[in-house]
Structure formats: C-alpha cells, structure tokens
Amino acid sequence: MLNNVLQRLGLMHKQVNIALWGSDVSEMATLVHGLQTGEYVKQEPSIHPFSQEITINNVNFTATVPSGNTGARLAWRSSLPEFDGIVYVVDTKDSSWLTVAKEELNGLLNDETLSKPILILVAKSDPSEEAELDAITKQGPTVALYTYDKYEETKEGFQWLLQHV
C-alpha cells in the first residue's frame, strides 16, 4: 500500500516488463523507439530480441521486442507468460492481417498460462476491420484495442496497459 502511495506521488517508480507481439517486428521496434524518443521514425527489425527501458507517468517498464527472424520469434512466444503484460501489434500492410491477427489473439486469450492484460495496437485502417478486432476485446476487462496514426495515441494505449498490470 505504501508503494502505491509513493508511486502516485511520483516518489517511486513501478517496474513492469512488457512483451510486444505480432507479425510486424519492424513496426514493434518503431513503436518502442517512438515511446522512448517521442519521434515516430521507421526502424528495421533486429535479428535478435531486444529490450528498451521506457517511463510513462512515473511507471518504468521494459519493452521487449522479439527477433525479426520468424523461427526465433515463434520460439520466443513460449516466454510470454514471464511478462506482466502483452502488446499485440496488428500488421495492416498484409492483406491477410485480420485473419492471422484474430487467430493469434484468440490463441493468446485462450492460453491459460497468459492471464495478463493485453493491449491490441492497430494502425488506422478500415473501420469494419477494426470492428472485427474490437469484438475480440469483449472477452474481458484486461483486453483493449487502440488504433493509432501518431505517437500520442500509442502512448494512450500503453497508459491503459500500465494501469492494468
């Protein structure tokens, strides 16, 4: 209880570990860079997973992005239960993005080892596609969908996630 009071007064930072997940590793890296610097500059995917320390509203968190290598990324999925929360980034550049996203999201939501809050981030897209993903978020209070076309909207989504971890 004392820790919560100190955190609200800004005298103590909460430490949280967040995993980013999805098929577009480049977009995940770009989002993390944007949260860290305030600039949305396209990043290249890394062949190795990497982590960045970020602070939003007096909450320190480590954002971990998986490898850009498909095999390594899929193997890394087994480590998701070790994180406090998950950010699922939907790939809007691929025509089959919605089907894949729905399958992966349902897999995450039905995984008994993942009782963590999940933030779904979707680049601004067709409203009907967003509605299909929004239906997935009705599965519980610890799942939220945020769309973005600029850095501030991404930050709002992370603020929601940090409040729920």
Going by the annotation, the residues of the binding site for Mg(2+) are 24, 46
d(CA 34, CA 107): 28
- Known binding site: residues? 24, 30, 46, 68, 124, 126
Amino acid identity at 18 = I
- Known binding site for GTP: residues? 30, 68, 124, 126
Residue written as token pair 């095999």: 71
CB count in 10 Å sphere of residue 144: 18
d(CA 6, CA 16): 16
User: How far is residue 86 from each of residues 5, 58, 122, 128, measured CA to CA in Å?
Assistant: 25, 19, 14, 24
CB of 29 within 8 A of CB of 21?
A: no
Amino acid identity at 129 = E
d(CA 23, CA 67): 10
Please classify residue 1 by burial: count the beta carbons closer than 10 Å to its beta carbon, then call 0-12 exposed, 13-18 middle and 19+ buried.
exposed
